[in-house]
């Protein structure tokens, strides 16, 4: 009976796609699709590379020109070489105040980011390793704080810092940078995957206290995540503009971003044009960031790779 039914079943006609592949036009379909995908990926990468490197190239080329060539020559190619003169003018203008801005930016960034890394790693470790009442509510508040724009906190922060006499002092920039909700969340997620709870129990059985366990076990196992948090925090502090613009009044306490912005305003307020020095100053301000990224790329890569595997 089964044999009769199998013989009586009419053959299913092939689909149009199958017929095209059988006729030879689509025989190399998967290969052509793969080549098309590779071409799209390579095209996207080339476009992204040009989009990323074009501003850097323009900055490098423009930093070698004098003020007149900056406006009259091709912006993507060199003209007469005046880079040395531009550097001398940058570091001697207003008694070398650019070096003061550069030092302020490094000082605010290093002190604030080191404090932020310590605070956020400790908070993330506590949220990941300890079970206590209100832990879920506290974690919900940390995640909910992502939704609050920083601009909304400017006026309350300014009033608070005024009462605390922190306005126009370095503490108005350093102290707020100690607290970063996203870094706390990142440290918690990293601690959950990097620290086995059994290791902490073994340390407690051996008589180690909680502070010693955190410093000798938890902090060491979270070193890669802490380096990633430090790098992200330093980049954010280096590029910070709105906070220093609002809370710092004295030019000697400004950061590089605010200082270069003040030089750009000179062109609007009077006939002087400091655009050339702003271009050279922007190029010089990139050097510390590039050096930091190169020196910490090992931690950066391992941290990002571990996060993707999780």
Integer Cα distance of 81 and 90 in angstroms: 16
Assign residue 9 a region (left: φ > 0; alpha: ψ between -120 and 50; beta: otherwise): beta
Burial letters 92-122, b for 16+ CB under 10 A, else e = eeeeebbebbbebbbebbebbbbbbbebbbb
178: exposed, middle or buried (Cβ count in 10 Å: 0-12, 13-18, 19+): middle
Q: What does the DSSP assignment read for 261-275?
A: HHHHHHHHHSS---H
Contact between residue 98 and residue 259 where contact means Cβ atoms under 8 Å apart: yes
Residues 6 or more apart in contact with residue 69 via CB below 8 angstroms: 79, 80, 82
Q: How far is CA 275 from the centre of its chain?
A: 27
Long-range contacts of 146-155 (CB under 8 A, 24+ apart): 146/181, 146/182, 150/242, 151/242, 154/242, 154/246
pTM score, two decimals? 0.81
Is 89-307 a domain of CATH 3.90.78.10? Answer: no
Q: What is the DSSP letter of 73?
A: S
Integer Cα distance of 189 and 203 in angstroms: 22
Contact between residue 299 and residue 224 where contact means Cβ atoms under 8 Å apart: yes
Integer Cα distance of 92 and 170 in angstroms: 24
Q: What is the DSSP letter of 30?
A: H
Integer Cα distance of 291 and 84 in angstroms: 22
> Over its length of 310 residues, how does the chain's per-residue pLDDT go in tens digits?
444 444 444 555 555 555 555 554 444 555 556 888 889 999 999 999 999 999 999 999 999 998 889 889 988 899 889 999 999 999 999 899 999 999 999 999 999 999 999 999 999 999 999 999 999 999 999 988 888 888 888 889 999 999 999 999 999 999 999 999 999 999 999 999 889 999 999 999 999 999 999 999 999 999 888 988 998 899 999 999 989 999 999 999 999 999 999 998 876 666 678 888 999 999 999 998 888 888 887 776 665 555 554 4
Q: How far is CA 309 from the centre of its chain?
A: 20
Nearest to 284 by CA among 273, 296, 276: 276
Report the pLDDT value the prediction gives residue 253, as an integer from 0 to 100: 94
Residues 6 or more apart in contact with residue 57 via CB below 8 angstroms: 76
Domain extent listing, the chain: 89-307
What are the backbone angles phi and psi of residue 241, rounded to the nearest 5°?
-130, -45
């Amino acid at each position: 009976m089964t044999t009769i039914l199998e013989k009586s079943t009419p053959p299913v006609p092939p689909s149009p796609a199958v017929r095209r592949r059988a006729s030879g036009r689509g025989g190399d379909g998967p290969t052509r699709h793969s080549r098309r995908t590779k071409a799209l990926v390579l095209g996207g990468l080339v476009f992204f590379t040009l989009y990323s490197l074009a501003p850097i190239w323009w900055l490098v080329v423009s930093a070698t020109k004098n003020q007149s060539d900056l406006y009259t020559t091709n912006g993507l190619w060199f003209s007469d070489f005046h880079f040395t003169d531009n550097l001398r003018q940058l570091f001697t203008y207003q008694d070398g105040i650019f070096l003061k801005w550069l030092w302020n930016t490094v000082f605010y960034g290093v002190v604030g980011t080191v404090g932020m890394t310590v605070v956020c790693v400790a908070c993330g470790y506590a949220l990941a390793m300890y079970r206590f009442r209100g832990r879920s509510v506290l974690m919900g508040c940390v995640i909910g704080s992502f939704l609050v724009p920083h601009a909304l906190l400017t006026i309350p922060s300014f009033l608070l810092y005024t009462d605390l006499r922190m306005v126009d002092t370095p503490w108005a920039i350093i102290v707020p940078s100690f607290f970063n909700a996203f870094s706390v969340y990142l440290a918690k997620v990293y601690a959950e995957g990097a620290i086995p709870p059994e290791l902490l129990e073994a340390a407690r059985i051996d008589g180690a206290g909680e502070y010693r366990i955190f410093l000798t076990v938890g902090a060491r196992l979270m070193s890669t995540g802490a380096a990633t948090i430090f790098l992200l925090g330093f980049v954010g502090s280096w590029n910070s503009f709105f906070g220093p613009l609002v809370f710092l009044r004295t030019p000697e306490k400004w950061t590089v971003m605010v200082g270069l912005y003040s030089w750009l305003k000179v062109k609007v307020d009077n006939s002087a044009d400091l655009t050339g020095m702003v271009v050279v100053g922007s190029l010089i301000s990139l050097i510390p960031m590039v050096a930091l990224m190169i020196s910490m790329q090992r931690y950066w890569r391992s941290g990002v790779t571990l996060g993707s595997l999780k």
